[in-house]
């Protein structure tokens, strides 16, 4: 069972393109498997890490996932009120719950949203700094527990406007296909190296 928790990135919010309707990367990921992969996408738009932990973690654990994806943090930063300790506590708490359950865990560094968002220079510096803090927490947790880490911060997609919706925050239909490709190949490379 593949279970995904998180926010709008995993729910699949974004623009259609000329040739593609917008679907979550989760749908594309599942379709890439040669064998049927049961899945449940619990992610909901607009949630920060505290809300994801409160509303999705218990249900996710009840599904006994063999693979789980936890991608979170964008709303902790972009909605204001960033708190490093609170984010760290939430991510660590969720990851350690899945570690105890024996799940394979996929996490991801956030992309640099400031490459596309129109922000004043001072605000851009603050957001970049917070994104780097969040990504360091995710990276350190990945190292500690040998998680599958997706690096969207350094991926070329982060600077490719053709893969993003008009809001400059969410991937578009093409972008979600690329997200699925990256996660699929990174996860199975991680499995081979484990």
Which pLDDT value is given to residue 19?
Answer: 86
| Encoded tokens for 176 | 């979600």
Which pLDDT value is given to residue 157?
Answer: 86
Mean pLDDT (the chain) is 94
Which pLDDT value is given to residue 121?
Answer: 87
How far apart CA 9 and CA 25 sit, in angstroms, is 8
How far apart CA 129 and CA 132 sit, in angstroms, is 5
3 state SS of 130 = helix
E strand or H helix at 148, and its extent? strand 148-151
DSSP annotation of 68 reads E
- Reply yes or no on whether the pLDDT at 194 is more than 80: no
Q: How confident is the model at residue 118 (pLDDT cuts 50, 70, 90)?
A: confident
- Reply yes or no on whether the pLDDT at 150 is more than 80: yes
Tens-place pLDDT, residues 23-53: 999 999 999 988 899 999 999 999 999 999 9
Percentage of residues of the chain with pLDDT beyond 90: 82
User: Whole-model pTM?
Assistant: 0.94
- Bridge partners of 68, per DSSP, are 3, 105
Q: Which domains does the chain have, with CATH numbers?
A: 2-193 (3.40.50.1110)
* Three-class secondary structure assignment of 89-123: HHHHHHHHHHHHHCCEEEEEECCCHHHCCCCCHHH
Which pLDDT value is given to residue 64?
Answer: 97
**CA 77 from centroid of its chain's CA atoms:** 14
| Cα-based distances in Å from 4 to 64, 119, 134 | 12, 31, 19
How far apart CA 115 and CA 106 sit, in angstroms, is 25
Instruction: Give me the mean pLDDT over the 5-23 stretch.
Output: 93
How far apart CA 16 and CA 173 sit, in angstroms, is 5
Which pLDDT value is given to residue 92?
Answer: 97
Instruction: Give me the mean pLDDT over the 93-104 stretch.
Output: 97
Percentage of residues of the chain with pLDDT beyond 70: 100
């Amino acid at each position: 069972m593949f279970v995904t928790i998180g926010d709008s990135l995993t729910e699949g919010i974004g623009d259609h393109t000329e040739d593609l309707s917008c679907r979550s990367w989760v749908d594309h990921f599942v379709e890439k498997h040669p064998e049927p992969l049961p899945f449940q996408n619990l992610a909901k738009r607009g949630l920060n890490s505290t809300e994801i932990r409160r509303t999705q973690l218990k249900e996710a654990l009840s599904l006994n996932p063999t693979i789980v994806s936890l991608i979170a943090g964008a709303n902790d930063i972009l909605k204001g009120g960033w708190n490093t300790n609170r984010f760290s506590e939430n991510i660590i708490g969720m990851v350690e719950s899945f570690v105890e359950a024996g799940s394979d865990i996929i996490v991801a560094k956030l992309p640099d949203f400031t490459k596309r968002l129109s922000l004043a220079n001072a605000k851009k510096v603050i957001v970049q700094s917070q994104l780097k803090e969040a990504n360091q927490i995710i990276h350190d947790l990945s190292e500690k527990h040998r998680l599958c880490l997706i690096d969207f911060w350094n991926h070329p997609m982060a600077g490719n406007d053709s893969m993003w919706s008009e809001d400059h925050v969410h991937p578009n239909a093409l972008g979600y296909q690329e997200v699925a490709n990256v996660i699929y190949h990174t996860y199975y490379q991680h499995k081979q190296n484990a």
